[in-house]
Each structure stands twice: as structure tokens, then as C-alpha cells.
Structure 1
Amino acid sequence: MSEIRLHEGELNIMELLWSNKVLAAKDISKIIKEYIGWEKNTTYTVIKRLIDKGAIKREDPGFLCKATVSKRTVQNTETVALLNKFYNGSLSNFFTDFLKNQKLSPGEVLELERIVGEQKL
């Protein structure tokens, strides 16, 4: 499967599916209307786009929707895209910039040291 890039509106629907495993499109529409305010047609358009991208599988009867891509996969794809866009793909440049502006607790520093230590093995 090629990488799937998702925009914020698509991620709203994917979050529902990652949490609930399978939902009928009508139920997705009701939830999205309540929390985001989208009309049914907007939600169905975004669901169709996600089906076309291969991120959702539709099952009948009932227009049941199920994610075909994991949250972890999408997170990894978006992280690489972010690194490429802002840091020329350099993880070390990202961490240097990001960590300069953070107040880390001693526990967070230890956790980062542990993670880096595992990479050395």
C-alpha cells in the first residue's frame, strides 16, 4: 500500500474509527455533527474520499466503515512529511530545534536518554 496522507477533517473521522473499530456512516455523521458541526453531506463526502484513498473499507449492508490503515502508520507518514517539509528530513535538526525551546522534567530527560541509548545497541 502506498503512503496515505490525511488532512485534519479526514483525521477526525479516522480517530472515530480507530477508537470504535467499525461504525456505520450514519453514526459517524451524527457524531461529527455533534462535535464538529458538519452536515451529513460533508461527512459522507469525506468518508468517500477516505474510501477512495484506501484508508477506509466500506461493508454492506449498513454502510459500515472500518479503518484499513493504523493510527501508527498515519503518524509515521505524517512525521516523515513534517521532517521533510521543515527540517530537510533531518531528525537531529528537528530534535535540536524542538528541545531548545522545551522545559523537560528530569524524568523526561531520563526517558529520552533511555530511548537514545536503545538506538546505540
Structure 2
Amino acid sequence: MKEDKLSQSEGRFAELIWQHEPIPSGELVKLCEKELNWKKSTTYTVLKNLCEKGIFQNQQAVVTALIKKDAFYAKQSRRFVEDVFGGSLPRFLTAFIGGRKLSDDQVDELKRLIDEHKEE
């Protein structure tokens, strides 16, 4: 992915594509007019930018994702932990929890995730 950060408007636009893909570009224009109050030119400009970032493609007037939503946000999350916490997941979790107590279910889920991803 060339760029993994989206502006607020790009994020709303990306969500529309992920929810409706594959979507004909003409339908996307109508959807953006209804949902975002965008003109046709705005839709195509933002689509072009996100295609250049390697997130979507517009081939034969059909828009599809090159990167699925979960993969995109996973990469964003990893980048955040790298940039803010030096890549330390324990430091991130400590900051995220911030003195709150975890429920037994949350503790069990975290333990399960750790066991699933533990190096052998």
C-alpha cells in the first residue's frame, strides 16, 4: 500500500466502497451525492486519489477494493503501535487499558489471542 492514511472524507468514501463493492462507478457517483452530498467531479477526484494510493481500482467502470477493509485497518493499527509505542504491544495495551479493570471474558479473550500468536 502506497499510503495508509486517509483524510476524514476519504475514510467515509472508502467505507461506502467497502460496503457496496463491487460497485459501478455511476452508482458510486449517485451514492456519494446522496450520502456525502458530493458532486460527480468530487467523487471521481477522490476515487482517483485512492486508486493511486493502491487501495481501490476502477476497471471497466466497476470499483473494487485492492485492499480489504480489515487488512487496511490492521496495517493502520500496526503503524500506530510502531510510531507511538515503538512497536511495543505491551506498552500499547498498558496505555489503552489505562488503569481500567478487564472483565473475565476480556482476559480470557486476550489469553486466547496470545496463545494463538505465540512464537514456538
TM-score by length of 1: 0.79
Q: Does 1:104 align with 2:107?
A: no
Gaps of 5+ in 1: none
Return the alpha-carbon distance in structure 1 between the equivalents of residues 16 and 25 of structure 2: 11
1:39 corresponds to which residue? 39
- Say which of 66, 86, 89 aligns to 1:88: 86
CA displacement at 1:3 relative to structure 2 = 4.8
TM-score by length of 2: 0.80
Pick which of 24-33 and 79-88 moved more.
24-33
Return the alpha-carbon distance in structure 2 between the equivalents of residues 103 and 32 of structure 1: 42
Return the alpha-carbon distance in structure 1 between the equivalents of residues 101 and 33 of structure 2: 38
Gaps of 5+ in 2: none
- Say whether the 8 Å CA contact 2:4–2:76 is kept in structure 1: yes
Instruction: State the SS of the aligned residue for 2:87.
Output: coil
2:28 corresponds to which residue? 28
Aligned length: 118
> Could you say what the CA RMSD is over the residues aligned between the two structures, in angstroms?
2.1
Pick which of 13-22 and 106-115 moved more.
13-22
Instruction: State the SS of the aligned residue for 1:66.
Output: strand
Pick which of 9-18 and 86-95 moved more.
9-18
